[in-house]
Amino acid sequence: MFHLRVIAPPDRSDAVRDLLLDEPGATHVVVWPGAALQPVGDVIGCDLAREVASAVLGELRDLGIERDGSIALEDLDVMLSDSADAAELAAPGDSADSVVWEEIEEATSEESTLSVTFLAFLTVATMIAACGVLLDNPILIVGAMVVGPEFGPLAGLCVAAVQRHPRLAARSGFALVVGFPVAMLLTMGFTLFMDALGLFDRGMLERPRPLTEFIFQPDWLSFWVAFLAGVAGILSLTSAKSGALIGVLISVTTVPAAANAAVAITYTDYSQAGGSLGQLGLNLVAIVIAGTLTLLVQRGLWSFNRDRHARRPPSGKDRTGAPKSP
């Protein structure tokens, strides 16, 4: 469940209160009249089933609450209440299948911004992958995949395409377009440094590498693996199954491909560099296509549930939350 806190302007406080009282998926409704000072208004709180969260947020935004007040949603890890259990049963659908679009947009917006931290993680991941490809070590490749932060901007592109948010699309695209070249350039410098120390050499790149040669040999299997990873990644975000995202990260070949390209360019092996860049582009495109299609299907299901939710009968509670008399 979620805990919802609303600061409602005085002229819309009754509408918000009635909305929550008439919502079968809401419970523990509390009103503090005049409690908010900045902005001025009434503070209204309730606990909300995940299945109805987006629908309720949409109705609150239709009232203009986010412009003149505020709407805050907090995930609750533990809820011990019979009324909360009843609210979840009354909400349509299943919580595991519900999509809270505002939550997804907030998460992807934060993770898709180009920042020093994003560049640091991407660069470190690419350097680790460079060690992995030259040593033909799949353990290092897996480690680099997990460290890489590139799925955030990719998910941001998917959300932006479905929700039609050009700013999110621009921010996500900018993070990828700038992030990967910067990480590759720094990895090229790292390769030269390691070569000067005698730890890297061209022979390590040219020798047979049966465990990592797939990185610079893209094919249709690479596309479908990345496509399935994109589906699983979006599902992990929309269903809050963050543990599944780790499996997604070690299923895509974005960071290793960038690393192999950087090393190959350093040693002027442009054939391997071209194959690696092809693998990188293939994975990026497949993930975005898969993620966008997954979100479109989920939005269709969510719209159906929202329409059904909008046609719900009154909950049978009066404004105090007590059963209405016949």
Taking 90 as the threshold, does the pLDDT of residue 113 lie above it?
no
The DSSP call for residue 325 is P
C-alpha 56/C-alpha 4 separation (Å) is: 10
Query: Residues 142-147: contacts with CB within 8 Å, 24+ apart?
Result: 142/250, 144/255, 144/256, 144/259, 145/249, 145/250, 145/251, 145/252, 145/253, 145/255, 145/256, 146/246, 146/249, 146/250, 147/121, 147/255
**What angle is formed at CA 114 by the lines to CA 110 and CA 118, rounded to 5 degrees?**
85
Looking at per-residue pLDDT, the higher value among 276 and 112 belongs to: 276
pTM of the model: 0.79
Nearest Cα neighbor of 24 from 279, 325, 308 is 308
Rounded to the nearest integer, the mean pLDDT of the chain is: 86
Per-residue pLDDT, 90? 82
DSSP-derived letter for residue 317 is B
Closest by CA to 195, choosing from 145, 130, 139, is 130
Q: How far apart are CA 173 and CA 156, in angstroms?
A: 9
Contacts of 186 (CB under 8 A, 6+ apart): 123, 126, 127
Q: State which fold the 103-305 domain adopts.
A: Glycerol uptake facilitator protein (1.20.1080)
Strand order in the sheet with 26-37: 26-37, 40-48, 2-8, 70-75
Mean pLDDT score, 227-248: 71
Confidence of residue 243 (pLDDT cuts 50, 70, 90): very low
CATH number assigned to the domain with residue range 2-97, chosen from the 4 options 3.30.470.20, 3.40.50.300, 3.30.70.260, 3.40.50.2300: 3.30.70.260
The domain locations on the chain are 2-97, 103-305
Q: How many CA atoms within 13 Å lie on the side-chain side of 279?
A: 27
Residue 21 pLDDT > 50: yes
d(CA 31, CA 321): 12
pLDDT tens per residue, range 116-163? 999 999 999 999 999 999 999 999 999 998 888 998 899 899 999 998
**Looking at the predicted structure, is the pLDDT value of residue 247 above 70?**
no
